[in-house]
Amino acid sequence: MSFLLSILAAAVINVIPAPAEVKPGDGEFQLRFFTCIKAESPEAAEVARTVAPKLRKASGRILPVRRHRGRIELRLDPACGIPDEGYRLSVTTDGVCALASGRAGLFYALQTLLQMTDGKRIPCADISDAPRFAWRGFHIDPVRHFLSPDAIRKQIDILSEYKINTMHWHLTDDQGWRIEIKKHPRLTEVGAWRTEFDGSVHGGFYTQEEVRSLVDYAARRCVTIVPEIEMPGHAFAAVCSYPELSCRGEQFRTLYTWGSPHDVFCVGSEKVYEFLDDVISEVAGLFPGEYIHIGGDECHKDVWEQCPICQERIRELGLEADAEFTAGEKLQSYAVHRMEEILARHGKKLIGWDEILQGGLSPGAAVMSWRGEEGGKKAALSGHYVVMTPGSGGMYFDHYQGDPKIEPVTIGGRSTLEKVYSYDPVPDVLRENGKDGFVKGVQCNNWAEYMYSESQREYMLFPRAFALAEIAWTRPERKDFDSFLTRCDLACKRLDALGVNYHIPLPEQPDGSCNSLAFSDSCTVELGTTRPLRIVFTTDGSEPSADSPEYSEPLTFTDDAVLKAASVLPWGRLSPVRTIRLRKMSPMPAMRPEDVFGLRARRTEGRFISAGDIPAGAVWTPVELSALGEAGKLEPYDNKLPDSTRFYAAEAEGCFRVPETGTFRFSSDCDRVWIDGQLLIDNGGAVKRSSHNDAELVLEAGAHNYKVLFIYNVIGGWISLRSRCDVLFRQPGSESWTSVAGDSARLID
């Protein structure tokens, strides 16, 4: 019963993350115009000055900070016995007292107070609180898409309110180098800029002065910034700047596509370690934290096999493949050990992705487990500290939050709010073996390949960051998802006041969302959301509002219609509106047997973004294909440098058969798709990583014609050669898709 009362009390004060213990009191403390904040020590006063502006904004009160008097008292007592970062908060009708053993605890007490107040009143309660984990992290990737210092401050400011205390700053990768290194200026002169496929230039970097300012800003909000300097892979921006650091020594252009090229640091060369020592000597002086992240993931080792310098190093070290590791993996382990020695000379510890376990790991190194939990388990069982951040546990916030058919394009995966909230960073095997103490904490990763704007980053981060905060701070027995949803709604309302974008679940169709439906007699549309929300809709073409009819059961249509639907938050804010067009039609007739033909195709050369870029007088050359998919593979994909001058567009057409008369849904990543001469799908100019424009037709049983336009280009970093040049179809309700190319040959036999 006490547990339930505590959960209910935590919900009443609407705090994220849920505190360890809450004892509700009677009444409330009134914030008056003359209310002062008492902070006797300089540290307490500094905390007060950091948080007071938000309290002033919320309350409209002046809330001056005084040393000797005030009804909101902040007390620091290192001997009080409260755990590090913990606090005790007492709110009575007479005043507020926050007690902590350190600065961070006092800061978090005020964050709790800030969430409790409605601006004029604070409910009476006694709260005792402390975190579950020391590392409560979020990751920022400004390499793929640059993020301004002000945008980073904004994220730090918001997330620190929810007791997130670590920012993992991904500063270098294949697509850009983002930190000024004075001894090696070409890193930012060359490596910080890339020319995109369409000719636009993207880039930017942080000066050392900007870095110091951000580190200080974060520290005042109890956030430690951990920089990441990638090695030995994901180093293409560095080797573009200084080709002598690579095995081939060739001059490359900074990568403007996603993925990792094969050219990495030449780890057999002493020049690389001298360079890394130079870099770390400057980086270490900018970041006072304990760790520097060295990456260590996804390193292509094939170039080392052809490199005489690396092979000589392998022979010198006596590295030989065994049942567990290849010689290349052992060479990477050697490079990681060398990097650890460099860090140690500059007073830092090493942390890296779980691939650094390959070939063995030094005792002091820490591991981030991203490829599931296995790396974290192995590291912790071996006595290494680990930070759990697996995509399989929902910690990759670049994964979809809902149906990929209607959500903005991203890298893939699916991490709903509930999935994030359900994750426990401590695997059972570590508890069973008494190694759970080696789980240092948990972190979300926000890889920005498909986060093209600050607004989109916010959309992917919130409200999942609130769930992260609770699993990082609150012990499992204190968690309750229903209570969290109530508190999450209120946290989102606070985001509204800050002008911050966030995800609101869209109305989805359970068998896959589609905005273009077709039927011959009637069509029933069923809708739902990834978490419980009201859905409102209209069918007269008008935009829905919070007062529109509420969806309560599947909707049936017998004529053409435009269904507009949105989910609604408790205070009336709507999600983006989904527009679903329904068309009543007669079955499109099947082809006559004598008109059925085999696969035929043609191509034209040029750098095209969409069909409209292909000139009317373009020269088309016939090409022979044995399969439709070959239309998307007419040029090789060069993973080392995807900068081919032989870009092209291809058209291909053929015939396919449907087994019975009925409605069929079509899906394709091609630029355009025609069925029986009707333009059905137009993905023009979009990032075609996955299909977002599925559409339906009613077809008569028998053979039908398809035609596709495929354009080899790079849009938003995505190389269309990686897309599937195909058209898939299925009947609504069916779980499996069929390719139109599946029986083209049989149709004409």
**Distance separating alpha carbons of residues 593 and 749, to the nearest angstrom:** 11
**Distance separating alpha carbons of residues 532 and 49, to the nearest angstrom:** 39
pLDDT tier at 745, thresholds 50, 70, 90: very low
**Distance separating alpha carbons of residues 407 and 418, to the nearest angstrom:** 17
Whole-prediction pTM: 0.95
List of residues 6+ apart from 526 with CB closer than 8 A: 509, 510, 554
- Joined together, the tokens standing for residue 91 give 């709110």
Query: At CA 660, angle to CA 658 and CA 666, rounded to 5?
Result: 45
Burial of 42 (0-12, 13-18, 19+ CB in 10 A): exposed
Question: 3-class SS at 699?
Answer: strand
259-268 tens-digit pLDDT: 888 999 999 9
pLDDT of 645 strictly over 90: no
Which class in CATH covers the domain with range 2-129?
alpha beta
pLDDT tier at 639, thresholds 50, 70, 90: low
Instruction: Give the active site residue among 46, 196, 278, 298.
Output: 298
| 503 carries an active-site annotation | no
pLDDT of residue 11: 46
350-370 tens-digit pLDDT: 999 999 998 778 788 999 999
**Distance separating alpha carbons of residues 519 and 731, to the nearest angstrom:** 11
pLDDT of 747 strictly over 60: no
**Distance separating alpha carbons of residues 344 and 338, to the nearest angstrom:** 10
pLDDT of 78 strictly over 90: yes
pLDDT tier at 60, thresholds 50, 70, 90: confident
- 516-584: CATH, from 3.40.50, 3.10.350, 2.60.40, 1.10.287: 2.60.40
The closest alpha carbon to 672, from 689, 685, 657, 690, belongs to 685
Q: Which fold has domain 135-498?
A: TIM Barrel (3.20.20)
450-468 tens-digit pLDDT: 999 999 999 999 999 999 9
**Distance separating alpha carbons of residues 300 and 246, to the nearest angstrom:** 12
Instruction: Give the active site residue among 234, 293, 384, 399.
Output: 234
Amino acid at 211: V
- The answer to whether 748 touches 599, Cβ cutoff 8 Å, is no
Comparing 363 with 434, the larger pLDDT belongs to 434
pLDDT of residue 5: 41
pLDDT of residue 183: 98
- DSSP annotation of 324: S
110-136 tens-digit pLDDT: 999 999 999 899 999 999 999 999 999
pLDDT of 610 strictly over 50: yes
pLDDT of residue 7: 43
pLDDT of residue 744: 46
pLDDT of residue 311: 98
pLDDT of residue 58: 86
| 173 carries an active-site annotation | yes
For residues 373-390, give the mean pLDDT.
97
pLDDT tier at 4, thresholds 50, 70, 90: very low
- The answer to whether 158 touches 498, Cβ cutoff 8 Å, is yes
For the ranges 121-125, 248-252, 439-443, 674-678, which has the lowest average pLDDT? 248-252
pLDDT of residue 220: 97
| 298 carries an active-site annotation | yes
pLDDT tier at 34, thresholds 50, 70, 90: confident
Cα diameter, the chain: 97
**Distance separating alpha carbons of residues 193 and 202, to the nearest angstrom:** 6
Q: Measuring CA to CA, how many Å separate 549 from each of 45, 121, 278, 575, 670?
A: 53, 36, 65, 15, 37
Instruction: Give the active site residue among 85, 129, 161, 173.
Output: 173
pLDDT of residue 637: 79
**Distance separating alpha carbons of residues 561 and 541, to the nearest angstrom:** 8
Q: Please give the torsion angle defined by the CA atoms of residues 379, 381, 383 and 389, in that order, rounded to the nearest 10 degrees.
A: 40
- DSSP annotation of 570: T
Which architecture does CATH list for 593-748?
Answer: Sandwich (2.60)
pLDDT of residue 62: 87
- Joined together, the tokens standing for residue 195 give 């020319």
**Average per-residue pLDDT in the chain?**
94
179-221 tens-digit pLDDT: 999 999 999 999 999 999 999 999 999 999 999 999 999 999 9
- The answer to whether 590 touches 704, Cβ cutoff 8 Å, is yes
Domain spans in the chain, listed from the N-terminal domain onward: 2-129, 135-498, 516-584, 593-748
For residues 496-502, give the mean pLDDT.
96
Q: What are phi and psi of 501, to 5 degrees?
A: -80, 150
- The answer to whether 584 touches 519, Cβ cutoff 8 Å, is yes
For the ranges 8-12, 133-137, 408-412, 567-571, which has the lowest average pLDDT? 8-12
For residues 576-605, give the mean pLDDT.
97
For residues 157-173, give the mean pLDDT.
98
